[in-house]
Copies of this chain bind each other. A is one copy, B any other.
């Protein structure tokens, strides 16, 4: 079994805000991330699949196919968008990296063919990143 990773990037804005809480609670929880007009990031997304290389191709998965899938299912829907307002599959979700990574996992898991989705890694800044592997505690 070999792990194969495709890296893509997108630029988006978001605001961390829980509508069930008061303004004061939101500012206390999310600090400058709760700024009403939002802010943004160049997100780096790494999608890792795992499987056995096929004899005929030496590929676990054709990375051109994986690239196309990630771009059509994810990147086109989030790039140059506001994650709170413009993205159907994030509606009603606080767009933390943790929640975004899990949403991406749900989308890709059923669509990847011939290999198994292993990990979604999302880097929000050069210092902060998350990884989701589909594990439940």
Chain A interface (Cβ within 8 Å of chain B)? 1-9, 11-14, 16, 18, 20-21, 29-33, 35, 37-42, 51-53, 56-60, 62-64, 67, 79-82, 85-86, 93-99, 101-102, 125-133, 135-137
Contacts and interface: CB of A to CB of B under 8 A. Distances in A.
Question: Sorted from nearest, which 3 A-B pairs have the closest CB atoms?
Answer: A40-B40, A37-B82, A13-B13
A14 B128 CA distance: 21
Given A18-B57, A58-B98, A132-B2, A7 B37 contact: no
Contacts of A58: 16, 93-96, 98-99
A6 B18 CA distance: 23
A57 B94 contact: yes
A57 B29 contact: yes
